[in-house]
Amino acid sequence: MSAKLSEMLAIVGVVDPDAYDTGTALTDAIDMEDHEQVIFTVMVGTLGSSATVDFYVMECATSGGTYTRLSGKSITQLTDAGTDDDKQVIVVVKASELTSGYRYLKGSLRVGTAASDAAVLAQADSRFSDAVTTTSFGDLASVDEIVT
């Protein structure tokens, strides 16, 4: 029997779906010592008039330290003028791509000019166990239900 996708991928970080005013929202800190890779799915709904949405991945040596941008892990800006309403963008980061000595990631979602609907979902494969077997390496506590 093949493994269920819900057992192979854990939700490890989010920017909850909402209408965001201008500013920056960050995902949870993701410990890449526990994962081979993480996939960030950036989603926008209706963008405000002249709105922009940027997303990039940041790295740090400690979960609570100062995060810096991870080179090559930024999206092309989504814009209202560019008819980017209701679009998604995917950013994949492998643990091997982090700077030596760094192990934590966060996604940074920035809404500019006008309030817009947006969200980020970060999913990762665990190096140690099925995603649903343990909360240490599995889904965030905010995951309410898994239906398989």
CA 127, chain centre distance (Å): 18
Averaged over successive runs of 10 residues, the pLDDT of the chain (148 residues) comes to 76 96 97 94 97 98 97 97 96 97 98 97 78 56 77
Q: How many CB atoms lie within 10 A of CB 24?
A: 12
Q: What backbone torsions phi and psi does residue 63 show, to the nearest 5 degrees? A: -65, -30
Output the pLDDT for position 127. Answer: 67
21-33 pLDDT, tens digit each: 999 999 999 999 9
All structural domains of the chain with their residue ranges:
5-126
Output the pLDDT for position 19. Answer: 96
CA 6, chain centre distance (Å): 17
Nearest Cα to Cα of residue 10 among 35, 28, 29: 35
The pTM for the full model equals 0.90
Q: How many CB atoms lie within 10 A of CB 124?
A: 27
Output the pLDDT for position 129. Answer: 55
CATH top-level class for 5-126? mainly beta
Output the pLDDT for position 136. Answer: 46
Rounded CA gap, 18 and 11, in Å?
18
Nearest Cα to Cα of residue 53 among 28, 29, 19: 19
| Helix, strand and coil in the chain, % to nearest 5 | 5, 50, 45
